């Protein structure tokens, strides 16, 4: 229940995860009210981890619920330590909300970049896609490179508007809209130099030509670079 509450606190008002989390919390409340589980759950100290003897007893238990609980706890431990196999199990079997193809593509690009960096500096890749704060990097490589997804980061400083941008801003303001700031798909930060090492724009080709999408990407990267 504590993990569900924490996950819920991270969601925005429009998050597609919200409904699924609320349903999960309702089901957990129902489980806690079940007569056969109410008293045992009250006796459980949630801050105390099971002992090795508890694992052995659960593994030998005849009732399947104990073995299922053992498997669930092992999976939880794997997620807590960032075990890749455990995280892949969650991603493949229990992803709470649908994710658009273009977002999947951006994450695939981020993973590809982290893999290349990891091989280049012979460093471990730490993935924080699940449960990370929106302001934190989703991937860290070798303790040196941080990869941010859809974040301007602290390194961004809004540059002076160009003449065409000033005209656009004035028109939008006249109609009650803000000019707004686009966010790069991915930002790679080098901790050693404390600066942005790369700006990445990922274009998922759908209903358009490669040349048109490439032109869009070049224009965006140049515009983003002015702020870094």
Q: Which pLDDT tens digits describe the chain residue by residue (228 residues)?
A: 677 777 777 766 666 677 778 888 888 888 878 877 777 777 776 667 888 888 888 888 888 888 888 888 888 888 888 888 888 887 766 654 556 788 889 999 999 999 999 999 999 999 886 555 667 899 999 999 999 998 999 999 999 999 999 999 999 999 999 888 788 999 999 999 999 999 999 998 887 889 999 999 999 999 999 999
Contact between 165 and 181 (Cβ < 8 Å) = no
> How many whole angstroms separate alpha carbon 81 and alpha carbon 68?
20
Model-level pTM?
0.60
218 and 147 within one domain? yes
Length of the chain: 228
107 and 89 within one domain? no
- Can you give the pLDDT at residue 226? 92
Angle at 86 (CA atoms; ends 97, 107), nearest 5 degrees: 50
164 and 148 within one domain? yes
205 and 140 within one domain? yes
Contact between 222 and 205 (Cβ < 8 Å) = no
Query: How many structural domains is the chain composed of?
Result: 2
Cα torsion angle, 183, 130, 202, 93, sign: negative
Which residue in 206, 192, 82, 186 sits closest to 137, CA to CA?
A: 186
- DSSP 8-state class, residue 136: S
- Can you give the pLDDT at residue 96? 47
155 and 72 within one domain? no
Contact between 152 and 227 (Cβ < 8 Å) = yes
Which residue in 92, 134, 84, 131 sits closest to 111, CA to CA?
A: 84
Helices (H), the chain: 2-9, 18-33, 35-43, 52-60, 64-80, 84-93, 101-121, 163-174, 210-225
- Can you give the pLDDT at residue 76? 85
120 and 14 within one domain? no
206 and 138 within one domain? yes
83 and 108 within one domain? no
Which of residues 65, 93, 121 is at a domain's end?
A: 93
Which of residues 44, 65, 93 is at a domain's end?
A: 93
- Can you give the pLDDT at residue 13? 67
Which of residues 31, 59, 93 is at a domain's end?
A: 93
Range of the domain at 52: 2-93
């Amino acid at each position: 229940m504590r993990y569900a509450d924490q996950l819920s606190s991270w969601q925005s008002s429009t998050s597609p995860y919200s409904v699924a989390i609320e349903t999960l919390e309702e089901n957990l409340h129902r489980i806690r009210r079940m007569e056969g589980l109410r008293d045992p759950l009250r006796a459980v100290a949630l801050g105390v981890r099971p002992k090795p003897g508890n694992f052995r007893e659960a593994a030998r238990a005849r009732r399947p619920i104990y073995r299922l609980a053992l498997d669930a706890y092992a999976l939880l431990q794997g997620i807590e330590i960032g075990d890749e196999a455990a995280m892949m199990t969650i991603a493949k079997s229990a992803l709470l909300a649908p994710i658009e193809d273009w977002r999947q593509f951006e994450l695939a690009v981020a993973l590809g970049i982290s893999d290349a960096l990891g091989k280049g500096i012979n460093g471990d890749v730490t993935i924080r896609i699940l449960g990370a704060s929106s302001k934190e990097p989703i991937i860290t490589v070798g303790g040196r490179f941080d990869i941010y997804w859809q974040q301007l980061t602290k390194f961004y400083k809004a540059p002076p508007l160009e003449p065409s941008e000033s005209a656009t801003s004035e028109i939008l303001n006249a109609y009650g809209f803000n000019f707004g700031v686009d966010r790069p798909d991915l930002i790679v930060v080098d901790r050693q130099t404390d600066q942005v090492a790369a700006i990445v724009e990922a274009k998922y080709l759908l209903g358009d030509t490669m040349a048109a999408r490439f032109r869009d990407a070049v224009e965006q990267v140049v515009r983003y670079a002015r702020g870094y």
